[in-house]
Amino acid sequence: MLLNYILNLFLYFPEDKSEYIPAAITFTLFMIAAVLTMRFIIKISKHQEEKAKEFEERLRKQNIIKDQQ
């Protein structure tokens, strides 16, 4: 009985469906922000990966030169 009362506090379905509009707008804004953030993180990650590969190549070349001497 108490469990049903507690669960009903979180389940609210309004009669007036226009109350869903602010929630839909907020959800849309946060979803767009999440997608843009993820794309930004992927872009930065690729850039760092390229820099790491270049650095690795420079280290390999330096090691080859040192090994030949």
Which is higher by pLDDT, 19 or 35?
35
Average pLDDT over residues 34-61: 96
Residue 38 confidence (pLDDT): 98
What is the total count of domains within the chain? Answer: 1
The answer to whether residue 30 sits within a structural domain is yes
The residue range of the domain holding 57 is: 22-62
Residue 3 confidence (pLDDT): 76
The answer to whether residue 46 sits within a structural domain is yes
The answer to whether residue 45 sits within a structural domain is yes
Query: Is the sign of the CA dihedral 9, 10, 15, 18 positive or negative?
Result: positive
The answer to whether residue 2 sits within a structural domain is no
11 phi/psi in degrees, rounded to 5: -100, 100
CA 65 – CA 23 distance, rounded (Å)? 63
